Amino acid sequence: MFTFKKCKTLHQLITTITHSIHSHITSHPLIFIFIFSIFLIQILILCSRSPPPAPKLLPPPSDNKCNDGKIYVYNLPTMFNSDLIDPCDDLDPWHWQCGVATNGGYGVTATELAGTIPASLTPAWHRTNQFSSEIIFHNRIMKHKCRTMEAESATVFYIPFYGGLAVGKYLFSDSTPESRDFHAMKLIQWVQKQSYWKKFNGSDHVIVLGRITWDFRRLTDPEQKWGSTFLNMPEMQKVTRLVIERAPDDDNDIGIPYPTGFHPRSKADTDTWQDFVRSYNRTSLFTFVGAARDDVGDDIRGLLLRKCVNESSCRVVDCAVTRCANGSLEIMEALLGSEFCLQPRGDSFTRRSVFDCMIAGAIPVLFWNRTMYDQYEWYLPKEAESYSVFIDHVDVSEGRKSVKAVLESYSKDEVRKMRETVIGIIPKIVYSDENDSNRRMNDAFEIAIDGVLKRFKAEREQVWEELVGK
């Protein structure tokens, strides 16, 4: 009597049946009402047992899914970022050719390396300022797959404040504490007015700082004039900070690699470079790149420098003589030609040179735990001995251990295995070229952003579990 191609919705069924019996209901009302009731019951039973209609075809899953959340970028007044780049000749006393501001923070191409590195990789090497991570992250986040233009859908709020550049303008001049805190204070005033800040007092906010954490933790002692008090301000206590050197007792500080000169444009660039450093003929046991610092307490740089100069198996690049800022051909050749590279602390515990060393395929020799082991947990293997050598600085300064003897105790096979681990780390500690749309590399930037998103997601889930548990 009635035929249906498929069961859709109850409304469609009733409409179809009604239309079908409309012409008959006036002549036999009781019969058709009875038949209608019986048939409707059968249809309802059929629909309840039938599978739901097939969903509309959706695009296949892609890498653009943001399962851990999305990032909203605040549109800050330009005084907090772009205005700090111009002029850029007042950021430090070494006149690094404004490399911090050029090419999205990557700097100009390092043409002087041509002839030493593979020709195909020359465009991937730059004179990158070690304090340029604020600009690099800002440019990359603006293009990130998980950036959202709708603040209400965000789980992370990024504050694109160039705090390192702001304080850097005053570090090497006779400035007042007020001038060093000026931009930080103004930023706090601005962000406190934002509705999304007020919800959780900044606990779902993140900021990138291009200098070490200690440059933002000026002590209250009037004699302490270095840096700003930005990270000591009460309003910043819940904000997550990505910094090139973290405070070991502050869980809101997350260590990220120093920017180096290598910015691969693709995975192929990285593979080519890894093959290059793996097969390079290393003729020296170890190298030291740096200068003596007699004004730094417990400094062994001068001691290492003197021993290295007098040792035929060691290569020296004395930065008191050679200009070492942003890398150089001499530094590159020394690192490529050595099995190990000595990494004593500098002005602080961390050094960009550690990352230059590893990217060149040399094995870092550390003298303080805080130089790497307590800093970059998202990037390095837990087994420190798999990629580095540790010699306590006290043992060296007091003559209980010889650096050369320790390094010579490693067999060729042990050195080869350690180098292979170092080479495997390279993709994680470089910042790939921002023009690479393929994004096949899980580079330092991607690891940092993924880590922040996962961190915030885990915190939300923990809060939810606690609420449900109650």
pLDDT at residue 136, as a whole number: 96
Instruction: Give the confidence band of 222 by pLDDT, cuts at 50, 70, 90.
Output: low
Examine residue 248 and say whether the peptide bond preceding it is cis (omega within 30 degrees of 0): no
Mean pLDDT, to the nearest integer, of 121-133? Answer: 94
Torsion of CA 314, 318, 324, 328, to 10 degrees: -50
Instruction: Give the confidence band of 157 by pLDDT, cuts at 50, 70, 90.
Output: very high
Instruction: Give the confidence band of 218 by pLDDT, cuts at 50, 70, 90.
Output: confident
Instruction: Give the confidence band of 51 by pLDDT, cuts at 50, 70, 90.
Output: very low
- Where do the domains of the chain lie? 10-49, 71-92+131-256+441-469, 267-429
pLDDT at residue 440, as a whole number: 60
Say how far apart CA 363 and CA 343 lie, in whole Å. Answer: 10
Per-residue H/E/C for the chain: CCCCCCCCCHHHHHHHHHHHHHHHHCCCHHHHHHHHHHHHHHHHHHHHHCCCCCCCCCCCCCCCCCCCCCEEECCCCHHHCHHHHCCCCCCCCCCCCCCCCHHHHCCCECHHHECCECHHHHHHEECCCCCCHHHHHHHHHHCCCCEECCHHHCCEEEECCCHHHHHHCCCCCCCCHHHHHHHHHHHHHHHCCCHHHHHHCCCCEEEEECCCHHHHCCCCCCCCCCCCCHHHCHHHCCCEEEECCCCCCCCCEEECCCCCCECCCCHHHHHHHHHHHHHCCCCEEEEEEECCCCCCCCCCHHHHHHHHHCCCCEEEEECCCCCCCCCCHHHHHHHHCEEEEEECCCCCCCCHHHHHHHHCCCEEEECCHHHCCCCCCCCCCCCHHHCCEECCHHHHHCCCCCHHHHHHCCCHHHHHHHHHHHHHHHHHHCCCCCCCCCCCCCCHHHHHHHHHHHHHHHHHHHHHHHHHHC
pLDDT at residue 346, as a whole number: 83
- Of 342, 426, 447, 450, nearest to 124 (Cα)? 426
pLDDT at residue 40, as a whole number: 43
Mean pLDDT, to the nearest integer, of 217-229? Answer: 75
pTM of this structure? 0.83
Rg of the chain, C-alpha, whole Å: 30
* CATH no. of 267-429: 3.40.50
pLDDT at residue 321, as a whole number: 78
Indicate whether 355 pLDDT > 80. Answer: yes
More confident of the two residues 463 and 408: 408
What distance separates the 2 farthest-apart alpha carbons in the chain? 117
Asked if residues 401 and 376 have their Cβ atoms less than 8 Å apart, the reply is no
Indicate whether 93 pLDDT > 80. Answer: no
pLDDT at residue 86, as a whole number: 74
- Rounded to the nearest integer, the mean pLDDT of the chain is 84
Q: Of 67-81, 161-175, 230-244, 284-298, which gets the smallest average pLDDT?
A: 284-298
Instruction: Express each pLDDT in 9-34 by its tens digit.
Output: 434 433 444 444 444 444 454 544 44
Burial 80-118 (b: 16+ CB within 10 A, else e): bbeebbeebeebbeeebbbbbbbbbbbbebbeebeeebe
More confident of the two residues 8 and 297: 297
pLDDT at residue 435, as a whole number: 65
Highest-confidence range of 285-294, 386-395, 434-443, by mean pLDDT? 386-395
Indicate whether 220 pLDDT > 70. Answer: no
pLDDT at residue 303, as a whole number: 92
Instruction: Express each pLDDT in 336-349 by its tens digit.
Output: 999 999 999 988 89
Indicate whether 188 pLDDT > 70. Answer: yes
pLDDT at residue 20, as a whole number: 47
Highest-confidence range of 65-69, 126-130, 190-194, by mean pLDDT? 190-194
Instruction: Express each pLDDT in 377-395 by its tens digit.
Output: 999 999 999 999 999 999 9
Which residues are paired to 389 by β-bridges? 365
Question: Residues 49, 59, 157, 153: is their CA dihedral positive or negative?
Answer: negative
More confident of the two residues 35 and 305: 305
